[in-house]
Amino acid sequence: MKLPLPLARRAAVLVLPLLLAACAAPRPPAQVSAPVPTGWTAPLPHGGSARQLAQWWDASLHDALLTGLIADAQALSPDVAQAASQLAQVRAQQVAARSALLPGVDGQASASRGFNQQTGGLATTAQAAVQAGWEIDLFGGNAAQLAAQGERVDALGAQWHEARVSVAAEVAQQYAAWQYCMRQLAVAEGDARSRGETARLSGESERAGFTAPATAALATASHADALARAAQQRLQCDVGVKTLVALTGRDEALLRTQLAAAPALKPEGELFAIDALPAQVLAQRPDVYAAEREVAAASAEVGAAQADRYPRLQLTGNIGRGWVKTGQGSVASNTWSIGPVALTLPIFDAGRRAAQVDAAQARYEAAASRYRGAARQAVAEVEQALARLASTAARSSDAGRAAAGYRQSFEATQARWQAGLASLVELEDARRLQLASETALVALEQERMAAWIALYRAAGGGWSRGEPGPAPVSVS
């Protein structure tokens, strides 16, 4: 069947924009490679078997207080709130970008009264119309903008999770630091009590004439030094509590009561495991995923900038109804139109559009570089945490034996001193070695716990691709 020529022309006018819309401006690859090693060089806990990290606070540490503190801190964190705000903004921009692909419809209404030359008298004129406009996406510029905003929604959703993981790691570090600070305080206070007893016995011996005044003065000075050290350690613990108050917003008096009732933080064995290959860890890092999505968004924006250099086509139309009312009666009329079809051809812009393409390409290259850097940094952070874990594991048994040996030596020297077979200088030397070894043992345990928390954060904190971000806030 052959269409009449006028009808064929009309069909061609309607179909041509759709055919042109199938064209798309070129853009660089949406994904770039990030070379990573084939395996970890540092030893893997549990041999590298995979486990979920998201709830390892409960599963491994069995500390409900820590879990609650993390939840409170995440709810109050300005970083988490800022990430949620940025995500809400880009979601709104995504809606705006989607609207550019669809026709826009506006309604208009007007009314007036005055002298009408056609009727030769006063008349009331009113009209109402619906107007539609559609910029046909000839070269995919609007579609590219929509794709860019969609990639940024995914990126900012991952950054919101990254902020939550960072807050969880920070609270855990502060909580662990307070726990180990209290253990160091217990060591310092025990040492102060021991030195105080030595000073008391030395004073009694001096008064009895069996100890020189200089020796008794040494014992008194040693006791005073221990009291000052304990006071300094107590200050550090108080600062730790106040830091937790600032992070979580809890009442300080209530938090101190809760901390006093909390179980001692004594993790046993391996707290969790990571995947064997760096590529698998990179896949579960929200910051790396966000950087990857930014590359795709920048690629789409290059396509949008390229499309802006090509012709633009806009189709408009309207439908309306008008009324004219006079003393003799009223007349109504209907109007409609399709068109005009407006074609805009860029001719001269002094290089503005070309510069926009260059700028978009530069942003793409920067995004690709940031992605590769984020991937390298992620591998480095996991390697560093694994190295610290391996080092603390290797040193723990030696540090334990050293502390036990110095403790035994001090107890033997103390017994000899009480029997008059050792000098106070020997006793103080043995006490100094014991204090240093016990302090080092607690510090080593704190270092190992810090390495576990760093590995938790470096391995993504249990985040997985496709995990939803915060729900959009509806405004009624």
**pLDDT of amino acid 344:** 85
- The answer to whether residue 350 is domain-embedded is no
The domain spanning residue 86 has which CATH number? 1.20.1600.10
Q: What is the pTM of this model?
A: 0.81
- The answer to whether residue 166 is domain-embedded is yes
Q: 């860890």: which residue's tokens?
A: 281
Q: What is the mean pLDDT of the chain?
A: 84
- The answer to whether residue 297 is domain-embedded is no
**pLDDT of amino acid 61:** 65
- The answer to whether residue 60 is domain-embedded is yes
- The answer to whether residue 252 is domain-embedded is yes
The alpha carbon of residue 43 and the mean position of all alpha carbons in its chain are separated, in whole angstroms, by 27
- The answer to whether residue 334 is domain-embedded is no
Percent of the chain at pLDDT exceeding 90? 41
What confidence tier does 269 reach under pLDDT thresholds 50, 70, 90?
Answer: low
What confidence tier does 49 reach under pLDDT thresholds 50, 70, 90?
Answer: very low
The tens digit of pLDDT for each residue in 198-226 reads 888 889 888 888 788 888 898 899 999 99
What is the bridge-based pairing of β-strands 121-136 and 104-116?
Answer: antiparallel
pLDDT at 437 over 70: yes
Counting the structural domains of the chain, the total is 1
- The answer to whether residue 303 is domain-embedded is no
- The answer to whether residue 420 is domain-embedded is yes
**pLDDT of amino acid 56:** 64
DSSP-H helix ranges across 208-314: 213-248, 252-261, 278-283, 286-307
Angle at 220 between CA 217 and CA 225, to 5 degrees: 125
Q: Are 79 and 167 in contact (CB under 8 A)?
A: yes
What range does the domain containing 273 cover?
Answer: 39-101+142-186+235-292+361-458
